[in-house]
């Protein structure tokens, strides 16, 4: 009888171990993981069930979800996207037949990463902006209850800004502003500010950037890295508005302070800051100093496509102003061939 009980205990243990080994894996932005079965999902949160325990993870804290039984090509595609290898991601995703997948969340992930890779390629000048935007907009329409939904709205907004469709872009950013986590609301305010600034609505843009700055400073200090990044991007946007309003000393001071405090490895932040600095210096009648600012982006922070395109456009003009015709031509040619979708 004792022997029988021992065998039964071993079988129960093995069964339990097997059940725990087969699970969805939710990886959070802080690199912690939650294992279990994703039993419920909305665009705001994901519920993970493990035995009788349930863990609710806010969508804004999730980096990825790897689903039990998903195609290996999907896992490969996620890794490729994370490393900027968007062509490889699309190749892997093209091998997946979603008609054979019965779990809606897995199908949604395939569609999201297809649209995301297409968007990143288009912004890099290697795809069509309109097609990428349409693909991501279709995801937004079809998957309202997916945890990627708010991010998808942001990406559509970004693509619309590049396409100079500022009104529709603001609509998508306004949807993003409804997200319950701070970093998304800040991204929405910064996105709206950038769209308004590009449309020439400087006072409105300044108000949007100021709203983001105040929102990020309200209450206790945030430790959310994404939120802190958005606050700094809002400050850069505010500085650009000050320059456009003729308040050049204030714009230069604010921009230089951001650059002095920035992590040199933060490509997007530094690229936008140096472009803002260069723009203010041009308005201040200092073309040589402006050249140096835009060259920082061209040489050090070229991995941010939209910002690199802006720097090249300015360099093409500035090299001409200082009679460096060959360099002006090279900058214009790089802009034309590499970023035809952006500028």
CATH value at residue 16:
2.30.30.100
Domain assignment present for 22 = yes
**pLDDT score at 5:** 47
Domain assignment present for 16 = yes
Q: Which of 139, 164, 189 finishes a domain? A: 164
Same domain, 40 and 93: no
Domain assignment present for 340 = yes
Domain total in the chain = 3
Quote the pTM value.
0.88
Domain assignment present for 184 = no
Domain assignment present for 251 = no
**pLDDT score at 222:** 54
**pLDDT score at 339:** 87
Domain assignment present for 176 = no
Domain assignment present for 254 = no
**pLDDT score at 125:** 82
Same domain, 46 and 112: no
CATH of the domain at 342: 1.25.40.10
* Regions of the chain where pLDDT drops below 70: 1-22, 219-223, 343
Same domain, 285 and 315: yes
Q: Which of 164, 198, 213 finishes a domain? A: 164
Contacts of 47 (CB under 8 A, 6+ apart): 38, 39, 40, 41, 54, 55, 56, 57
Q: Which of 164, 190, 215 finishes a domain? A: 164
| Beta bridge pairs of residue 46 | 41, 57
**pLDDT score at 17:** 42
| Parent domain of 107 | 89-164
Domain assignment present for 135 = yes
């Amino acid at each position: 009888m004792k022997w029988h009980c021992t065998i039964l205990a071993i079988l129960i243990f093995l069964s339990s171990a097997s059940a725990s080994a087969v699970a969805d894996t939710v990886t959070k932005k802080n690199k912690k993981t939650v294992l279990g079965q994703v039993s419920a999902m909305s665009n705001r949160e994901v519920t993970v069930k493990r035995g009788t325990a349930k863990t609710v993870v806010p969508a804004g804290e999730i980096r990825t979800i790897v689903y039990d039984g998903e195609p290996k090509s999907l896992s490969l595609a996620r890794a490729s996207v994370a490393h900027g290898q968007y062509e490889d991601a699309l190749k892997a995703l093209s091998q997946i037949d979603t008609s054979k997948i019965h779990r809606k969340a897995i199908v949604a992930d395939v569609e999201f990463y297809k649209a995301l890779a297409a968007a990143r390629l288009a912004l890099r000048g290697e795809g069509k902006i309109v097609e990428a935007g349409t693909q991501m907009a279709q995801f937004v329409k079809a998957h309202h209850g997916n945890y990627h939904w708010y991010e998808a709205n942001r990406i559509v907004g970004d693509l619309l800004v590049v396409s100079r469709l500022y009104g529709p872009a603001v609509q998508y950013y306004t949807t993003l502003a409804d997200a319950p986590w701070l970093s998304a609301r800040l991204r929405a305010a910064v996105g709206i500010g950038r769209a308004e600034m590009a449309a020439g609505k400087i006072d409105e843009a300044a108000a949007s950037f100021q709203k983001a700055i105040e929102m990020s400073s309200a209450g206790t200090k945030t430790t959310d890295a994404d939120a802190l990044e958005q606050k700094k991007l809002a400050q850069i946007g505010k500085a650009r508005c000050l320059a456009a309003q003729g308040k050049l000393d204030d714009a230069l001071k604010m921009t230089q302070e951001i650059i002095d405090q920035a992590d040199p490895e933060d490509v997007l932040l530094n690229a936008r800051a140096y472009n803002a600095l260069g723009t203010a210096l041009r308005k201040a009648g200092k073309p040589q100093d402006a050249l140096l600012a835009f060259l920082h982006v061209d040489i050090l922070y070229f991995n941010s496509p939209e910002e690199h395109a802006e720097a090249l456009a300015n360099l093409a003009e500035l090299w001409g102003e200082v009679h460096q015709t060959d360099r002006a031509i090279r900058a214009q040619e790089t802009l034309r061939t590499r970023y035809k979708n952006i500028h």
